[in-house]
Structures are given as C-alpha cells and as structure tokens.
Structure 1
Amino acid sequence: MDTSNNVRLQLQQQQARKSNQNIQVYVRVRPLNPRERCIRSAEVVDVLNPREILTRHTLDSKLTKKFTFDRSFGPASKQCDVYAVVVSPLIEEVLSGYNCTLPRPKQTPPHLGGRTSSHSKRHYNPTTNVAEEARPIQ
C-alpha cells in the first residue's frame, strides 16, 4: 500500500513539475571595457531593477526601450552572483533527474571588446585519461 502511494505521489509531483516548465531568460550587462572608457563611450543600458533594463540609442536620446527579464544583472555583478541565481538551481534540477539546458552566449567579437586569442577544441580520451587536441578525421 505504501509503495503504490509513493509511486502515485511521485507521478503527481512529476506531472505538476512538467506543467510548470518554462524558459527563463537572464541578462547580464557588462561594464565598459578600457577602450570604451578611453574614448568616453556612454553607457546606454541601465539596469532599472532586478528584472528590467532600459536601453537608449545615445546618452541624450529620448527614444528608449524597456525590456523585462526573469532576472537582470548590472555591470557591478560578479560571476558568483550570476552562478548562485542562474546555474545553482539548475544543478539541483539535474541531480533530481530533470533535463536542463544552459546555453552559452556567443562571445563578443574582438573588434567590440572580446578576446583576441582563440581556444583550441579539446576532447577527453578515456583510455589515456588525458584531454587531447581535437583534430578533423582524415
């Protein structure tokens, strides 16, 4: 009797969880990079509160757009803050047996302040216990 009640309760919890599935969208506004500060670029994205940002075309522009997210992080936010709010809850979901996806956004191109170095693709070789350079099959 207890086993059937436990199974029934687990199925109800799974169904409730499936009906509550949704996509969450987060934004992190980066600070100006050294080049942008040097040429005195204006910050045209403001974090209004933990859920909204405001964008404008120029510093003096009256034309603005407000965007709402599940959570927004300002330029002063730290990586550990983003991890605690965004990633940590997903880890718990994965460990509970649920599928979770955390897409990594594309990196800012070098001419817009991104990194200039390239990272080589690596894969793990289980026989040698070593990460090796990935090479195309010839």
Structure 2
Amino acid sequence: MDSSPVAQHRVNFTNKSLAELKSMDENVTKALFKNFILPIKNGHRPPHDLQGKYKPSWEMPFVNSPMREAFMQQSKALNLFHYHFGYMFYRSGNDPHYPGDISDGIIHTQVICEPSIVSHNILQVCLEHPSPFKQPFERVNDELAA
C-alpha cells in the first residue's frame, strides 16, 4: 500500500458489495462507516491510522500446499487486502507484523495505487472471518458503484 504523504485515500464499493451491504443489519453498516470509511474520509491513512488490522491477503504464516501458494500469488498480483472493521466488536490483535485490533467482521478490498490516489475498493463484506481463508477473486472486475 502506498504510504506517500501526497497520495489521497478513498473508499469505493462495487455495485455487488454495496447491494449486499444494504441487505445487512444496520450495525454492520455503522461499524464499517465508523471504523473504515469515516477515518479514511477524514484523512487518516491506512493501515497505521486505523483501529483494525489491515493486512495483505497474500501474507500467510505458512504455505503447506501448491493450492495455497497459488492463492497467495493471485492475491498479491491483484493487490488484495482484508480489514477487520469491528463488527460486532474489536478485540486485541497479536500480529507482530500487522498491528491493529481484530474482529469477526472483515472486508475484502482491492487496493489500487495511482500517483496521487490510493483507492480501497470494497469487494465483499463478511460477518465472520472465513476459515479456511478465501478471497473473492471473481469480484475484482465488478463495476464500481457511482
């Protein structure tokens, strides 16, 4: 993720992720707005200025299969991340490499870095951290909401 002091950060939804969010409980929307969208709109810079852990989805503690290796390579090529947005609540994270609190609720994002803008495109909102971890690869080409 670009940490250039001149780059502005913005949040986008895909049409699909926005439609899904609208069908979820109001507390999901409130947590996402409070802990991700509003801080970025107010000039806070991910990942360090956010309360939740924002981690590259290709960073995994171990690789134990060719399938997992392919998953990691594809996630890196597409610059996919996931952010713990505090639904239903935050608890302390213990990752020495990626600080921030963790929650069951996560968003999958694709981070697009341009010279002056870093876009955090929300691909999917999940109410629980999937196990085994999976990525919405099929959503990277979804149209962004207006």
**Same fold? TM cut 0.5:** no
TM interval, short-chain normalised = under 0.3
Structure richer in helix, relative to its length:
1
What TM-score results when the alignment is normalised by the length of structure 2? 0.26
Larger radius of gyration between Structure 1 and Structure 2: 1
TM-score normalised over the length of structure 1: 0.27
Highest RCO, 1 vs 2 (Cα 8 Å, sep ≥ 6): 2
